[in-house]
Structure 1
């Protein structure tokens, strides 16, 4: 039976690129703990990459977790950070939201408000969340579609963003490194995020506690363009001192 389960898990992975523990548990009629053990077995055989809540087939050059899996990871933490972000958004603002699932959480909360704002984003998922809102003007940045993040990227996306003057930008990153800055798995995504930062008067970096002291290959920008860092837990004293010395507001 285990062999059959492993083969079914691999079949689904090859079809969709990612799987969720809860879905596999229901489909194969076994406990979630059994599925986690199966995924651990397959990871040892280097056939998949496990993450919180599921697993995926990593691309050789793009190691980012697929968006459908990222939406289930640290969901509560993202909602907490999104509520903190909402306190900084006022009527009349033009705001940028990147293609992160953290930004998607912000958009989900914005949908339930009557704020009269303009939202600029390169995220297809955010477009779907806000498309029918009565008081939010929605501007979607076009470009090359990136399936792993449901986002639009590339030189056309950057050129489109450069046409706008933005009041506040809310971006996330794959990691942040002390004295270096936020980093990303995708070069194209990092360039789009940097363009948002360049066009905005005040920039909010929204990252959960797991992103601290974790570095990926593509630098988004240094900390000079970051006004505020919003996270879910109190960071280390070293980080607190760094933000204080850099005159960056820290919200946790």
Structure 2
């Protein structure tokens, strides 16, 4: 099979399934693993797809944003490990901001029993926080469809009334040049304010968020501590080395 034919099959499978594993591509093309990995690298460089640990996925547009349900179903093991480590950074007596996102949501079960106060703009976080017997404050405001995040004037006015020891935030894209980005300017503004009002800002990001850029920047990488997984070192080693030079980055071993 010619390279162009094999790569066309790979693109079609990614478009049909959104996420495809390397083993599936090997079976579909009858090519070796090394050949498929080389194809994926070439296709990613040509902006035809995005490589992830063990496979490939569709590229997203600058404004495209997965729903909470879609986010929660992807890389769940990786997100749970990152969230567990993030919760370990929360100390007794802390006042923290907890962003609306699938990885920050996973922190809540690990915060149970801690004497802390949490401010959140995540609608889905509220019930879980209350059930964990954690003192909880909600920003309020307009509820955004898909991500169930409070945004808008009400949220902006609310967050100005708080100050945080730590702010835990999600991101849709992270690069050295563009920093941390998210598709929605309104959510980006809330994240920016949370960073402004916090002594320390911690961005939780699985390995698929790196080397992506979305519509609205909310922080340069120098302004945040990035918490991710060992998949970043395995899949994006060059970027990882660049990040180490520019910011504090911590890797959770999987």
Q: TM-score scaled by structure 1?
A: 0.71
The alpha-carbon distance between structure 1 residues 51 and 123, as it changes in their structure 2 partners (threshold 3 A), is: farther
User: Equivalences for 1:1-252 in 2 at 5 Å?
Assistant: 50=18, 62-110=63-111, 113-134=112-133, 136-226=134-224, 228-232=225-229, 233-235=231-233, 236-252=236-252
Q: What is the CA-CA distance between 1:237 and the residue it aligns to?
A: 4.3
Q: CA RMSD in A?
A: 2.3
Deviation string for 1:54-78 (max 9, x for gaps)?
Answer: xxxxxx9952111112111111111
The alpha-carbon distance between structure 1 residues 51 and 99, as it changes in their structure 2 partners (threshold 3 A), is: farther
Q: Contact 1:184–1:216 at 8 Å: present in 2 too?
A: yes
Report 1 or 2 for greater relative contact order, CA contacts < 8 Å, sequence distance ≥ 6: 2
Give me the whole-angstrom Cα distance separating, in 2, the residues matched to 1:51 and 1:108: 28
Q: What is the CA-CA distance between 1:245 and the residue it aligns to?
A: 3.0
Q: Secondary structure at the match of 1:220?
A: strand
The alpha-carbon distance between structure 1 residues 207 and 75, as it changes in their structure 2 partners (threshold 3 A), is: same
Q: What is the CA-CA distance between 1:109 and the residue it aligns to?
A: 2.5
The alpha-carbon distance between structure 1 residues 64 and 163, as it changes in their structure 2 partners (threshold 3 A), is: same
Q: TM-score scaled by structure 2?
A: 0.71
Q: What is the CA-CA distance between 1:165 and the residue it aligns to?
A: 0.9
Total equivalences in the alignment: 197
